Each structure stands twice: as structure tokens, then as C-alpha cells.
Amino acid sequence: MINTAVIGVGYWGPNWVRNFAAHPEIDIKMVCDRQKERLAKIHPLYPYVTLTQDLNDVVTDGSIELVAICTPVHTHFEIASQCIRAGKHVLIEKPMTASVQEAEELLELAEKHGVHIFVDHTFIFTGAVRKIKTLLTAGEIGDLYYLDSVRVNLGLFQHDVNVIWDLAPHDVSVLNHLIPSQPEGVITTGADHLGDGKADMAYITLFYPSNLIAHIHVNWLSPVKIRQMLVAGSKKMVVWDDNQPSEKIRVYDKGIEVIRTPDDIYHTLIQYRTGDMYAPKIDTTEALSVETQHVVDVLKGKAKPLVDGRRGLDVVRILEAAQASLHQRGKEIPL
């Protein structure tokens, strides 16, 4: 059994408590939160779990091997540092840290103490993203042309981070998972309509080798909730609509073919290709359940981590560069 603890049971932490409690190879021993009201909601559901308001109780408990950190971003570094120094593996809510420097320091600490860092980029473990990855690996989509992602809704406004650090980690982590190459530069524009110093909408453009481009639109001020990504390749195109109750993935056999005559470069012909559309079957298992099993497999030496500390650092590096570009009104920042 892997003894675990969860720190922070506000919005996301209770989901980790539930998944840890349901796994046959995990024993959830402790839940920590500063607010008694949150702990009071945990007790009736999991009366066997020790509840505490003191972080030190988790850190000093030598039996706890894995700690899930589900607290505000600005606290990740300090809490994770204490747990790692105590020899515990950590699973950190996205984004991993508030800066590249903090992420790099955590990686050094983890290597020194011989523990794993997992970063909770949940969408990597959804059936939809796993299916798109399979299609890409099998060559069914062909060479990637562009990816376009929209993640917008009305709220939830965060107090410690802007919309880039709140919503974009989901899309950036998916892009890093699907695209084999690393981005070379980023351009970001956005606006702060409330005047509190935090952008509430942003457009992020990532440039990759081979003329590949990715675009991310994140927004707290949309009248509708949209969770959609378009993946366009030379053979087929995929639309992932996460709001759909079924058929979240649709594969279109559509595209263009360029025909160039060897004797005259001005006689370039564009031929449109329109074929079938199909919705492949995807695994509907809850992403956190899949992720929990993956963490167990890694700790037992049965798998290599999909989203480890280095992957978490890659996401933070892109977010930090996007933030720098935003402050300079869209200047390209090299990566």
C-alpha cells in the first residue's frame, strides 16, 4: 500500500481524496487544510482519515510516502519543498510553480532526495487526448499544420494568478504531449478589464519548427463556456469538443492538396478534399482515476511518468514567456 496525504481540499483536492480512497493500492492517511469548514465536509465521507490544520503534521509523518498538493499556486514551492526534504513524493496541482526558478529548484531537490515529482495536468489522461495521441502516433492525421484551442467561460476569477496561469496550463500541457518538438517562440496579447493587474483574457501563439503553429485563446469574460481544440494535419483534421456528452472527438477526412506545375510557379492549383467524418470510441474512465493508476504504476516501477517535474517545468517556462510577451504588448519571446 502507498500511504498518501492531500493538502488543500477547497475546489480540486476533494477529487484526489475520492480517487485515493477508491484505489485498492492506496491508503489515504491524512487530509490537511487551514479551514475547519472544509475538513468538516471530509469527515463524514472518510471518517477513518486523520484531519489536521497543521502542514507540519503531514511533513513529519514518516509513514506518508506521497503528498498531493492542491493549494494556490504561490504556495506550491514552499509546501513541495518541505515534503521533498522529508523524503516524500509530491503530486502538485497545475501549474507546478509560479516561476521557472522555483520549478528548477524543486527538480534539483527531488533529484537530491530521490523522490518523484508528478504534476497534475489532468487532461493528458482523458480518453479524448489519449485517442488524439494514438491517431497522431499512427500517422492517421499526417504532418501537423496547426492546433487551435479555445478555453473560455464566465469566471471563475482567481485572486493570485491571471487567466494565462489559470486556464492555459491545460492547453499548453496537451500541446506538449501531442507535439513531438518544442516551441521556439511565443507571442501573447491580452487585456485586464477589471483594472486589478491581472489579465482576464489572452491570445497565445506558439511557433514550432517546420512551420507548425499553435494558438490558445483563454478568457474569463465569455458569455458561453467553450472547451474546444482543432488539430489539423496533412491527411485529416480532428475536432475535440470537451463539452459534448458523447462524440467528444470527431475525425474529418478534409483538407487541401497543392498541385504545382513544374514549368510555371504561378500555375499552382489548390484541390479541396472532402471525405467522411467519424467519431471514434474513446475511453470514458475518469481522467483522475487513470492518473491515479499511472502514479501507482510509476511508484511501483511499472511505468515511466508522463507528466513529471521536467514536463511541469516545460509548461511553466512557456507560461512565464507568455507573461513576458503580454507585458510587452505582443513582443515575441524566444524559448
Give me 258's grid cell: 497543392
Q: Please provide the average confidence, as pLDDT, over all residues in the chain.
A: 94
One domain, residues 18 and 89? yes
Within 10 Å of residue 204's Cβ, how many Cβ atoms? Answer: 26
Mean pLDDT within 226-252: 96
Label residue 158 by pLDDT band (50, 70, 90). confident
Whether 202 and 189 have beta carbons less than 8 Å apart is answered as: yes
Please report the pLDDT score of residue 17 as a whole number: 98
pLDDT of residue 14: 98
- Residues 267 and 322 both lie in one domain: yes
Residues whose CB falls within 8 Å of the CB of residue 159, separated by 6 or more in sequence, listed in order: 72
pLDDT in tens, 244-296: 998 999 999 976 666 566 655 555 555 666 778 999 999 999 999 999 999 99
- Final residue in a domain of this structure, among 91, 120, 149: 120
Would you place residue 195 in the very low, low, confident or very high pLDDT band (cuts 50, 70, 90)? Answer: confident
Do residues 323 and 189 share a domain?
A: yes
Does residue 218 share a domain with residue 252?
A: yes
Average pLDDT over residues 45-71: 98
Please give the pLDDT value at position 66: 98
Domain limits for position 166: 124-283+316-334
- What pLDDT is attached to residue 256? 66
All residues at 6 or more sequence positions from 253 whose CB lies less than 8 Å from its CB, including other chains = 235, 236, 273, 274, 275, 276, 277
Residue 271 counted as domain residue: yes
**200 and 87 within one domain:** no
Last-in-domain residue among 105, 120, 135:
120
Peptide bond into 280 cis (omega under 30): no
pLDDT value at residue 261: 60
d(CA 22, CA 18) in angstroms, rounded, equals 6
> If you average pLDDT over residues 25-48, what whole number do you get?
97
- Contact 249/131 with Cβ under 8 angstroms? yes
Residue 240 belongs to a domain with what CATH number? 3.30.360.10
Residues 23-60 as b/e (b if ≥16 CB within 10 A, e otherwise) read: beebbbbbbbbeeeebbeebeeebeebebbeebeebbe
Residue range 306-327: mean pLDDT, rounded: 97
Each residue of 70-80: pLDDT tens digit? Answer: 999 999 999 99
- Note whether 326 and 244 are same-domain residues: yes
Q: Work out how many domains the chain is built from and give that number.
A: 2
User: Of 80, 97, 120, which residue constitutes the final position of a domain?
Assistant: 120
Q: Identify whether residues 91 and 128 lie together within a single domain.
A: no
- For residue 227, pLDDT over 70 is answered with yes
Per-residue pLDDT, 194: 85
In b/e form, how buried is each residue of 271-281, taking b as 16+ CB within 10 angstroms? eeeeeeeeebe
Average pLDDT over residues 223-243: 97
Beta pairing, strands 185-191 & 333-334: antiparallel
User: In terms of domains, do 153 and 220 share one?
Assistant: yes
Based on the fold, state whether residues 233 and 271 are members of the same structural domain: yes
CA terminus-to-terminus distance, the chain: 41
Same domain, yes or no, for 151 and 222? Answer: yes
Query: Looking at the domain assignment, is residue 299 inside a domain?
Result: no
